[in-house]
Amino acid sequence: MRGFSVPHCILFFSTVLLLSARSSPAQAIDKQQAMLLTQQGKFQEAKEAWLQLAAHAPNDYVVQANLGLVLAQLGDYKDAIAAYHKSLAAHPSEPGVRMNLGLAEFKQGNFAAASSSFSSLASTTPPDPRLETLLGLSYYGQQLYEKAIPHLTIASQNDPSNPQLHYVLAESCLHGRKPECTLTESQKLLQLSPDSAAAHMLLGEAYDGTKQENEAITEFAAAAAANPSQPNVHFGLGYLYWKKHDYDQAAPEFKAEIDHDPKNAQSLTYLGDIAYRNNNDDEAAASLLKAVHLQPNIRLAYFDLGCVYARENKNADAITAFKEAERLDPTEPDAHYRLARVYLASGQKQKADAEFVKTKSLHQKEQESIIEKMAANTPADAPAN
């Protein structure tokens, strides 16, 4: 299994919620024909039939509901949504139509609208496991992980053998900064899909989040073994080694990622960083330059590039690189300080002084902020002993 995705999950739900034709006798035959075509899966013909009916009775909620259904089956979610809205405008209390509307919105990628439709439905109908799943997925699609987690938890409890549900729940927990939940769900996922590289990576992320570095490395290594071409698996492993300052182990992983994806700017950056630390300035500069050309928003790449140039006394180049690093994150003092030192080395004292002032100011703000936080956490009359 290469991975999991939301579309995989949603395939389990079909949008076959037909409304029976119960309209006036004059239109009854046409509606029945249209319904038959729909039931036979002749969606293009059914669409024409429902459109004709709609032209004569634009406010007929049954016609609009079935038109929407057929349009959705044909992949025309935009028009389907419009038809469902017309149906609901005429008959707001029809839960099947609202469900179909939510599904169409979800499939169109409008997760906010979908979650709104599903929420509205959930508030007026008895508890429904499918709705929990759809709500959870809608929130997940909006990256509202905190909101997604309770719905996905119920959904995965109702369908414990569904690996996709465990995956999205584990991912939600990861991004929702709930490491224990990430750990539990990724372990469940691995039981269902023991050879899944994605599952091993998620478990590795969970371990990383709980500061179990060695276990994280083990899982990422298992992921790389399960699928060496899994995107980001070597980068992830390399990064974990880099974080432990184990540059000898990290470098081959970044190289492996680059072998699979020569445009992986992150891997190029860290490889350049390691080369810089090992005093291989030429190698570092080459790697870092590639990285910034591919992705010009990686601060570390510019910062390291500045350091390499400064070490080689290429002050003008160093200034350019440090300024870029500074632009990408003006709140980090290191680039300001390095830039100031290079300005000073190149005789630009005023500019150096300005950067020194920024460096000092950032440190002072940081310290004052820590003191404020400490004071806020300290009870007024609470002696430590």
Partner 1 sequence: MRKPGAAEFNRREFLLLGTAASTMALAQGIASRGVKPQPRGKPSGLPFLAHFTDVAAKAGLVAPTIYGGIDHKQFIFETVGCGVAFFDYDNDGWLDILVLCGTRADSPPEATNRLYKNNRDGTFIDVTEKAGLVRTGWASGVTIADYNNDGYEDIFITYYGQNVLYKNNGDGTFTDVTEQAGLAYTGPTRWGSGCTFLDYDRDGHLDLFVASYLAVDLNKIPKPGTNPMCSYKEVPVNCGPNGLPFAKNFLYRNQGDGTFRDVSETSGIRKATSTYAMTSVAADFTGDGWTDLYVASDSTPSLLFVNQHDGTFKEEATERGVAFSEDGLEQAGMGVGIGDYTLRGRLDIFKTHFSDDTDVLYRNDGTGQFTDVTLAAMLGVETRFIQWGTGFADLDNNGWPDLFIVTGSVYPEVEAKFPQYPLKSPRLIFRNLGNGKFEELIEEAGPGISAAHCSRGCAFGDFDNDGDVDVAIINLNEPPSLLRNDLKGNHNWIKVLLVGTKSNRSAIGSRVIARYGGKLQAQTVTAQSSFYSVNDRRLHFGLGAAQLADLDIHWTNGAVEKLTGVKAGQFIIVKEGQGITKTETWTSLDKS
The structure tokens listed for 32 are 């029945």
Of 117, 70, 78, 126, the C-alpha closest to 98 is 117
Task: Tell me, residue by residue from 88 to 127, as one string, x for binding to partner 1 by CB under 8 A and - for no binding.
Answer: ----------------------------------------
Q: Does 282 bind partner 1 (CB under 8 A)?
A: no
Stretch that binds partner 1, among 8-16, 80-88, 89-97, 326-334 (CB under 8 A): 326-334
Report the C-alpha gap between 353 and 340 in whole angstroms.
7
Q: Which of residues 335-364 bind partner 1 (CB under 8 A)?
A: 336-338, 340-341, 344, 352-353, 356, 359-360, 363-364
Q: Rule CB under 8 A: is residue 332 a binding residue for partner 1?
A: yes
Angle between helices 333-345 and 299-311 (to 10 degrees): 30
| Per CB under 8 A, 295 contacts partner 1 | yes
Distance CA 112, CA 117 (A): 9
Q: Which of 297, 348, 361 is nearest to 327 (CA)?
A: 297
Smallest distance, partner 1 to C-beta of residue 356, A: 5
Q: Which of 299, 314, 323, 351 binds partner 1 (CB under 8 A)?
A: 299
209 binds partner 1 (CB under 8 A): yes
Q: Select the residue interacting with partner 1 from 46, 298, 318, 321 (CB under 8 A).
A: 298
Nearest CA-CA partner of 220 in 200, 239, 206:
200
Which DSSP string corresponds to 40-94?
A: TT-HHHHHHHHHHHHHH-TT-HHHHHHHHHHHHHTT-HHHHHHHHHHHHHH-TT-
Report if residue 334 touches partner 1, rule: CB under 8 A: yes
Q: What is the DSSP letter of 160?
A: T
Residues near partner 1 (CB under 8 A): 174-175, 205, 208-209, 211, 232, 235-236, 239-240, 243, 245, 265-266, 269, 273, 295, 297-300, 303-304, 328-329, 332-334, 336-338, 340-341, 344, 352-353, 356, 359-360, 363-364, 366-371, 373-375, 377-378, 381-385
